[in-house]
Amino acid sequence: MRKTPIMTGEHDLKRLLAGMSPVLDEASYVFVTLPGREVPEGLAPRMTMQEGEGTTIIVTREEAEAAGLDHVFECRMITLDVHSALDAVGFLARVTTRLADLGMGVNPVAGYYHDHLFVPTDRASDAMTALGEMAREAAGSARA
């Protein structure tokens, strides 16, 4: 029998924002849609989502091209390196709103331990700057 993990993680929005420590992955990623549920052999998706229309995977651009897969949205992955609770309120809303205010599309993905943002490749440094500013602002307001 599988043991169910105990839900843990930070709920406090100020602590989440102050401690998010964004980390930019070096790889370029793309989104691929597959007609069925099977992921082609040799691919190691960062994310797999079953949808009614097919299976969406996020893989490196190199993997998609090597497999001959059509792909869209070349992006970089930013991990918000703070253990956010799955039921934390407002964290991703604040982050994605800040990036939207910069005219940036973002595709957030929540994992058990961290939230990950897929941002356009050419805007990755802008996103990192904005996220760093958010963390410093939140840390400053927590001290005040």
Residues 6+ apart with CB under 8 A from 68: none
pLDDT given at position 143: 61
pTM of the predicted model, to two decimals?
0.90
pLDDT given at position 4: 66
pLDDT given at position 93: 95
- Terminal-residue alpha carbon distance, the chain: 48
pLDDT given at position 12: 87
Average pLDDT over every residue of 35-57: 93
pLDDT given at position 27: 98
Tell me, letter by letter, the H, E, C secondary structure of the chain. CCCCCCCCCECCHHHHHHCCCEEECCCCEEEEEECCCCCCCCCCCCEEEEECCEEEEEEEHHHHHHCCCCCEEEEEEEEECCCECCCCCCHHHHHHHHHHHCCCCCEEEECCCCEEEEEEHHHHHHHHHHHHHHHHHHHHHHHC
Do the beta carbons of residue 27 and residue 60 sit within 8 Å?
yes
Average pLDDT over every residue of 56-63: 97
Select the more confidently predicted residue: 12 or 28.
28
Residue 38 burial (CB count, 10 A)? 8
Our CA dihedral for 30, 90, 5, 20, rounded to 10 degrees, sits at 70
At 13, the pLDDT band (50, 70, 90 cuts) reads confident
Average pLDDT over every residue of 61-80: 97
Over residues 83-128, the pLDDT tens digits come to 998 899 999 999 999 999 999 999 999 998 999 999 999 999 999 9
Backbone φ and ψ of 72, nearest 5°: -140, 170
